[in-house]
Amino acid sequence: MNLFRLDASIRTEGSASRALADTAEQAWLAQHPGGVVTRRDLGVQPLPGDAWTALAGAVVNPSVPAPEEARELLDRLGAELLDADAFLFAVPMYNWNVPAQVKTWLDLILNHPRLGVHGDWPLRGKPAILTLSRGGGYGPGSPKEGWDHATPYLRRILADVFGLDLHIAEAELTHAFWDPNMESLRGLAEASMKTGHEQAAEHGLRVARLITA
């Protein structure tokens, strides 16, 4: 069994999205102790932005083909997804949306001949976990209700475009753990984090069982 894991946080220590993903991964590996985890860490190694420009430019202007390096990169990114049985995406919200490195990765993947919008839906129905972290609070009635543009976007791409069977574990108010101005919200942050880890463990187990059925 092959689990593809994507991380996007620029923090390697203290990252809430990575911590939630670790919980989900451990639950998955408990069911598949011999399983393989294929990792792509966009926070540590972001993709070159000019690769997408070259590939997209070749579509609108076929007389200027994309460089071989860009095409090879797209092949590698596509193979990582096509070879996987299940998926784990760990994404923090930055500036009320997905991190730039995630948008670059998605733009590249959507250029893939099979995985893009004109492809043959090879990932349809495969199970996936999305672990999300948000520094503030964006729920109903909060001052910034409606400012979370990351979650609906990722749902749209992962579930509706790729057709993945998506399960979400999330934690809010994570900045309260270090921001003195949010100290009064730490109790809520701890409760949200606890719920997020419970969701991540539950989803990891569920996804593991789905691909053994």
Is residue 213's pLDDT more than 60?
no
Note the pLDDT tens digit of each residue in 183-211. Answer: 999 999 999 999 999 999 999 999 999 98
Two structure tokens written together for 147: 């400012």
- pLDDT-derived band at 26 (thresholds 50, 70, 90) equals very high
Give the burial class of 129: count Cβ atoms within 10 A of its Cβ; 0-12 exposed, 13-18 middle, 19 or more buried: buried
CA-CA distance, 4 to 143, in Å (whole number)? 36
Mean pLDDT across 17-29: 98
Mean pLDDT across 154-182: 97
Q: In angstroms, what CA-CA distances link 57 with 52, 64, 168?
A: 8, 8, 34
Mean pLDDT across 62-87: 96
Is residue 63's pLDDT more than 70?
yes
pLDDT of 51 reads: 96
Backbone dihedral angles phi then psi of residue 89, each to the nearest 5 degrees: -115, 120
Backbone dihedral angles phi then psi of residue 118, each to the nearest 5 degrees: -105, 15
Which CATH superfamily hosts domain 2-210? Flavodoxin domain (3.40.50.360)
- pLDDT-derived band at 118 (thresholds 50, 70, 90) equals confident
On the CB side of 127, CA atoms within 13 Å amount to: 18
Rounded mean pLDDT of the chain?
96
CA-CA distance, 143 to 54, in Å (whole number)? 41
- Annotated domain spans of the chain: 2-210
Note the pLDDT tens digit of each residue in 29-49. Answer: 999 999 999 999 999 999 998
Backbone dihedral angles phi then psi of residue 176, each to the nearest 5 degrees: -65, -20
3-state DSSP: the chain helix, strand, coil percent, rounded to 5? Answer: 45, 15, 35
- pLDDT-derived band at 101 (thresholds 50, 70, 90) equals very high
